[in-house]
Structure 1
């Protein structure tokens, strides 16, 4: 029955394609680690790839390097055009790391290598295997040490469809065309982020020492959110999404994973967020205290957890200007100076947030200074959406090409 179920789930490839088990796509190799106590084995010019360092699809560099002597005594060398993938490590709990070597490298025992057989393009094979990530991650087992382990024999049982070598290369070229476009946009995005930081710093520096300083509570209302724990039941109870510390990042709100909580309807006005509220986190690493972003109202109604402060500004203070200042070196320095440090974390309280000294230029000047910052942030948001959309298109197109549903 199990074999019949597996057969029923098999992908229907074009008739002229070969169906191949991964066990048959090339030569499989294991790696190793040279003795770390022998200095003659380390510090050479050969990248040594481990589960921790295998992060790029095109593998060419690693922080750790071995000598030829080290590669010959405990590790293994593979040439350019070899597939490497992680079969043991913490990363296997959430991702399947795989790539193609661009030069000669050595690799450790937490990785496996496949030298593609004749007639198989290495990059095509890598894409074909990568497309099976959900199936592969379902095979991962947890070891006694808590790391993930991938059984090679089970992995070798997976099947891929293999078109002619020219078509393999056309599929790779189609994938790479979008990849190059994504890379170009990411370069523009990275430069835009640098420009945004410079414009933000310039905006705050333009009137430094001249603007009046006021305590935050004189120009804004600071409030904590709903406390998690015992939730009410019965009449008058409503269940709503809420933002926790994990949702409030530095400069943006991430709503990819939002949880819900039950409160009394009578508490809604007290805890509900409004568009334009600045959210600041209560705890975390000392250098990240008070990180936050302005809420854009994308979920309505939406609440906030008690470990996230809501700052609702008066007309005298733009929430965008306050966010700019809170994330500046001066704002960070204030939170670090008042933060309470424990063994693992630091925290601030609402009184400290209320007492934060904030420069208050006129509202007209705030808006003038914020104009170029808002413009570049809008550009950054557009670029980020374009990149995300292209990645979705690339993934769907590659899956269709690898299954033969679409032909190049």
Structure 2
């Protein structure tokens, strides 16, 4: 059914099979189509990635473009919507779908006609419900484990905030509505107003001395080597870290590229264990999140879009700095400083140098670092268990669907 009056919310389908509503301000050009609660909808481009879902009852009807075929499977009565969604997200089905994609790279699609021609098993309705219920038990277990992992990290951040006695509008923001005079609106900021309302300084406060990270006694902040046609890997090819390698508090070293760096420049650009790395650009939420270099690759350098803070470890421990940088004041510093475009937030070396950091005695830094490392280890174990539960959810589902 076509939709033309613009009164409906548009829907989005995600790779995990969930469906969400787009903001009510979203406008899409052209004809759209109506999907009612419990209708099955898939993305012609991303069904091979798992983008097929069922419209939730609580959303009411949603609108989709013709890139999203819509099916009322309840009308036939042979299969239930949740079983179709589950079946189409199994590896066996997705491998069949992958063979059907046509079109240019990056915009390959599966046509509705090809999708409809795929044969599917159809157990009894009772068996379908049992398979879905069993699958959701595993999924719920995985979600519970991931929540516990997030809670472990959040609890550690709360404890670090308490141990450092951090006071900042970032730590306890005002969440209720409040009023400002209209003549001050052009000079007003949430951060400054929150500080005034709470009666605290808008500078970071702690029970320990606070210093900027760029203080010469604490660290040296620098950019990496700029990539150009002149330094393509040759006789002095060196492994180097790109933005893609520096993730949210960890390094992704699965793909390492090379760049030519003469011996004379290696002392300038070579990474050393304990270096803290920052991406110059990231999402607004993740901008300023650090990763710790542990010497994983010998003679590794870094690109100019990756900033490096080399710490004086007699005064500031790397793992302690990593722990502090999970707190609200650190995250808030970079969010406020970042220059934002539509999809990217960027920081520069001055933003890194001017980050205010509490400097406890080394013994206390070690204690806080150990607290954070323990929380990370616990969270990693819980996430690994969650991944196993998710894997089991689909492997068991495939066996049940096959009648095993």
Please give the TM-score of this superposition, normalised by the length of structure 2. 0.69
Contact kept? 2:102, 2:110, Cα under 8 Å: yes
Q: 1:300 to 1:98 in 2, by over 3 A?
A: farther
Whole-angstrom distance in 1 between the partners of 2:368 and 2:118: 58
SS at match of 2:164: helix
Aligned-residue offset at 1:326: 4.3
Aligned-residue offset at 1:320: 2.2
Aligned-residue offset at 1:185: 1.1
Aligned-residue offset at 1:384: 1.7
Aligned-residue offset at 1:182: 0.7
Structure 2: tracts of 5 or more residues without a match:
25-31, 167-204
Q: Map 1:29-68 onto structure 2 (within 5 A).
A: 31-36=1-6, 41=7, 50=11, 52=12, 57=17, 62=21
Whole-angstrom distance in 1 between the partners of 2:352 and 2:257: 26
Match 1:196 to one of 138, 156, 174: 156
Deviates more, 1:265-274 or 1:153-162: 265-274
RMSD, aligned CA:
3.9
Contact kept? 2:164, 2:208, Cα under 8 Å: no
Aligned residue in 2 for 1:122 = 81
Contact kept? 1:189, 1:384, Cα under 8 Å: yes
Q: 1:163 to 1:272 in 2, by over 3 A?
A: farther
SS at match of 2:57: coil
Contact kept? 2:315, 2:362, Cα under 8 Å: yes
Aligned residue in 1 for 2:94 = 133
Contact kept? 1:84, 1:101, Cα under 8 Å: yes
Whole-angstrom distance in 1 between the partners of 2:335 and 2:137: 46
Aligned-residue offset at 1:373: 3.0
Aligned residue in 2 for 1:359 = 358
Aligned residue in 1 for 2:289 = 291
Aligned residues: 347
Contact kept? 1:232, 1:264, Cα under 8 Å: no
Q: Map 1:373-388 onto structure 2 (within 5 A).
A: 373-388=372-387
Whole-angstrom distance in 2 between the partners of 1:341 and 1:157: 46
Q: Which has more strand, going by share of residues? A: 1
Structure 1: tracts of 5 or more residues without a match:
1-30, 43-47, 66-73
Aligned-residue offset at 1:148: 6.5
Please give the TM-score of this superposition, normalised by the length of structure 1. 0.69
Deviations 1:269-294 (A, max 9, x none): 65443443211122356775533122
Match 1:83 to one of 40, 65, 68: 40
Whole-angstrom distance in 1 between the partners of 2:63 and 2:252: 36
Whole-angstrom distance in 2 between the partners of 1:168 and 1:340: 51
Q: 1:108 to 1:307 in 2, by over 3 A?
A: same
Aligned-residue offset at 1:115: 0.9
